[in-house]
């Protein structure tokens, strides 16, 4: 029995209603198992505080997460044309949340073309083409870079090209690969697949793979597999049950985690976490779906399952399993589910966000 201090960021758009449903379900999960409780430090971020605070990410939010070490977050709209960057990206950078964890599991009752999927995507979050070092075509800087590179090697880059830089370091590769192996070991997984295009990008993806091979020696109980990203896409849809934990550089991780989310029923049910050494932030894959704001309509499954990941992270394994089983049972029954989980989206028997949470709580308390 413990009291867990957790930062709760309701977010904006549909975020607050999703967060409220998730908070209630998480409290019920620990109540029904360990008897632990939560001490929520509620922190506002996003569009709703932008006017009063002058920023969508008030400094108190990061201070709170640094102090609690754990946050659960509703989605936050990226303000357009205001000069503010995405709060989601800002949090990842400020807290160095280098690992993006996306488990994709098919529960009964989900709409999918696949009979069985249970894969975990571990995406590197800080390097690769996402560092944002780019040179616009025809800019003086781009022409300078092209000139320099054309001197350094035989292959010539065409003039008037745009350039994006893809840095991958040994440090960044090692910590994400270790994260994937540690996750596999802690969660009873048997294989870790390193997914790259190392046959083409020898010094970036090649370094990632070479690091994977070295790190794998420290985990003799986990089978290391090496896969090319194109073949992985085909393999995932042709033989979904052959895959286990996938570790990937940033870009491939971004793309493949959407592919695997689609295989298990889409954004409404895809949980996630961004994890670093000093903090972990748990959040759904989807955005703030602002057109449904305040309608008690959208599906909180992705955020609730993100909450189940958080329970595991907090050492509340029994509560996490209990919650996941209750979610699976309610989805499987197909009765008290939100509109997007019904075969027909206009089905009048669909329930609201809050009533779906009630059904999960009822199942846990039965
Ligand atoms: P979105 O995920 O918010 O919505 C796209 C569509 O998916 C919605 O219109 C809705 O039909 C459906 N959908 C999404 N979540 C759902 C749910 N829980 N239940 C039922 N249906 C759901 O994507 P978007 O419209 O591209 O983004 C809206 C805003 O959210 C943007 O500002 C974007 O930057 C931001 N965003 C935030 C996060 C985050 O907070 N981590 C992630 C992605 C996007």
Q: Is the pLDDT of residue 363 over 90?
A: yes
**How many A from CA of 212 to the centre of ligand 1?**
34
Mean pLDDT in residue range 185-201? 97
Q: Is the CB of 286 under 6 A from ligand 1?
A: yes
- Mutate which of 74, 271, 289, 352 for ligand 1? The one with the most ligand atoms within 8 Å of its CB, which is 289
Q: Do 51 and 79 share a domain, yes or no?
A: yes
For residue 141, the model assigns a pLDDT of 97
Closest CA to 138 of 116, 163, 114: 163
Q: Is the CB of 291 under 6 A from ligand 1?
A: yes
Q: Do 215 and 136 share a domain, yes or no?
A: no
CATH of the domain at 364: 3.40.718.10
Q: Is the pLDDT of residue 159 over 80?
A: yes
Q: Do 1 and 91 share a domain, yes or no?
A: yes
The residue whose C-alpha atom lies closest to atom 42 belonging to ligand 1 is: 287
Q: Do 176 and 274 share a domain, yes or no?
A: no
Q: Do 11 and 150 share a domain, yes or no?
A: no
Q: How many helices (H) and strands (E) does the chain have?
A: 12, 12
Last residue of one domain, picked from the residues 197, 232, 263: 263
**How many A from CA of 15 to the centre of ligand 1?**
10
Residue 136 within any structural domain of the chain: yes
The per-residue pLDDT of the chain, averaged, comes to 95
Could you tell me the CA-to-CA distances from 325 to 208, 242, 315, 364 in Å, in that order? 36, 23, 17, 8
Give the angle subtended at the CA of 246 by the CAs of 243 and 251, to the nearest 5°. 130
Residue 88 within any structural domain of the chain: yes
Residue 352 within any structural domain of the chain: yes
pLDDT digits (tens, 9 = 90+) for 95-126: 999 999 999 999 988 888 998 999 999 999 99
Q: Is the pLDDT of residue 281 over 90?
A: yes
Q: Is the CB of 275 under 6 A from ligand 1?
A: no
Q: Is the CB of 76 under 6 A from ligand 1?
A: yes
**How many A from CA of 111 to the centre of ligand 1?**
19
- Mutate which of 261, 273, 288 for ligand 1? The one with the most ligand atoms within 8 Å of its CB, which is 288
Q: Is the pLDDT of residue 205 over 90?
A: yes
For residue 3, the model assigns a pLDDT of 97
Residues designated catalytic:
130, 197, 230, 254
Pair 326, 363: CB distance under 8 Å: yes
Q: Do 247 and 343 share a domain, yes or no?
A: no
Q: Do 82 and 98 share a domain, yes or no?
A: yes
Q: Is the pLDDT of residue 273 over 80?
A: yes
Q: Do 253 and 119 share a domain, yes or no?
A: yes
Residue 108 within any structural domain of the chain: no
Between CA 187 and CA 263 the distance in angstroms is 21
pLDDT digits (tens, 9 = 90+) for 223-272: 999 999 999 999 999 999 999 999 999 999 999 999 999 999 988 899 99
Q: Do 234 and 297 share a domain, yes or no?
A: no
What total number of domains does the chain contain?
A: 3
Q: Is the CB of 301 under 6 A from ligand 1?
A: no
Q: Is the CB of 257 under 6 A from ligand 1?
A: no
Last residue of one domain, picked from the residues 263, 284, 311: 263
The residue whose C-alpha atom lies closest to atom 11 belonging to ligand 1 is: 289
Residue 33 within any structural domain of the chain: yes
- Mutate which of 286, 297, 303, 338 for ligand 1? The one with the most ligand atoms within 8 Å of its CB, which is 286
Q: Is the pLDDT of residue 81 over 80?
A: no
For residue 350, the model assigns a pLDDT of 96
Between CA 288 and CA 13 the distance in angstroms is 5
Q: Do 327 and 358 share a domain, yes or no?
A: yes
The residue whose C-alpha atom lies closest to atom 34 belonging to ligand 1 is: 78
Q: Do 120 and 148 share a domain, yes or no?
A: no
CATH of the domain at 189: 3.40.50.2300
Residues contacting residue 175 through CB under 8 Å, at least 6 positions apart: 98, 99
Q: Do 138 and 256 share a domain, yes or no?
A: no
Q: Is the pLDDT of residue 213 over 80?
A: yes
Residue 299 within any structural domain of the chain: yes
For residue 185, the model assigns a pLDDT of 97
Residue 239 within any structural domain of the chain: yes
pLDDT digits (tens, 9 = 90+) for 290-349: 999 999 999 999 999 999 999 999 999 999 999 999 999 999 999 999 999 998 889 999
**Domain extent for 280:** 1-103+269-366
């Amino acid at each position: 029995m413990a009291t867990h201090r957790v930062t709760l960021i309701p977010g904006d758009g549909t975020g607050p209603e999703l967060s409220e449903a998730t908070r209630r379900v998480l409290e019920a999960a620990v109540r029904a198992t360990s008897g632990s409780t939560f001490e929520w430090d509620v922190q506002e971020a996003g569009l709703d505080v932008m006017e009063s605070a002058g920023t969508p990410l008030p400094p108190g939010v990061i201070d709170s997460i640094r102090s609690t070490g754990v946050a659960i977050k509703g989605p936050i709209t990226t303000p357009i044309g205001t000069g503010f960057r995405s709060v989601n990206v800002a949090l990842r950078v400020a807290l160095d949340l280098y690992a993006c964890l996306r488990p994709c599991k098919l529960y009964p009752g989900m709409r999918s073309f696949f009979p069985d999927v249970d894969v975990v995507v571990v995406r590197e979050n800080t390097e690769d083409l996402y560092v944002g070092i780019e040179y616009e075509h025809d800019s003086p800087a781009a022409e300078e870079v092209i000139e320099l590179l054309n001197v350094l090697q035989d292959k010539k880059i065409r003039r008037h090209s745009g350039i994006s830089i893809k840095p991958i370091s040994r440090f960044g590769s090692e910590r994400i690969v270790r994260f994937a192996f540690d996750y596999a070991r802690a969660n009873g997984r048997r294989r870790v697949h390193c997914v790259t295009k190392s046959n083409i990008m020898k010094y970036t993806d090649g370094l990632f793979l070479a690091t994977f091979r070295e790190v794998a020696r420290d985990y003799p109980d986990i089978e290391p597999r090496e896969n090319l990203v194109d073949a992985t896409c085909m393999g995932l849809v042709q033989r979904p049950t052959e895959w286990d934990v996938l570790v990937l550089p940033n870009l491939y991780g971004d793309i493949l985690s959407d592919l695997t989310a689609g295989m298990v029923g889409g954004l409404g049910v895809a949980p996630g976490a961004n994890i670093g050494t000093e903090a972990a932030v748990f959040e759904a894959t989807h955005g703030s779906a602002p057109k449904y704001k305040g309608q008690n309509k959208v599906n909180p499954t992705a955020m609730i399952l993100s909450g189940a990941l958080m329970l595991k992270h907090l050492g509340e394994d029994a509560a996490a399993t209990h919650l996941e089983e209750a979610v699976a049972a309610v989805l499987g029954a197909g009765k008290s589910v939100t509109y997007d989980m019904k075969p027909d989206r206009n089905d009048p028997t669909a329930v609201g966000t809050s009533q779906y949470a009630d059904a999960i709580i009822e199942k846990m308390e039965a």
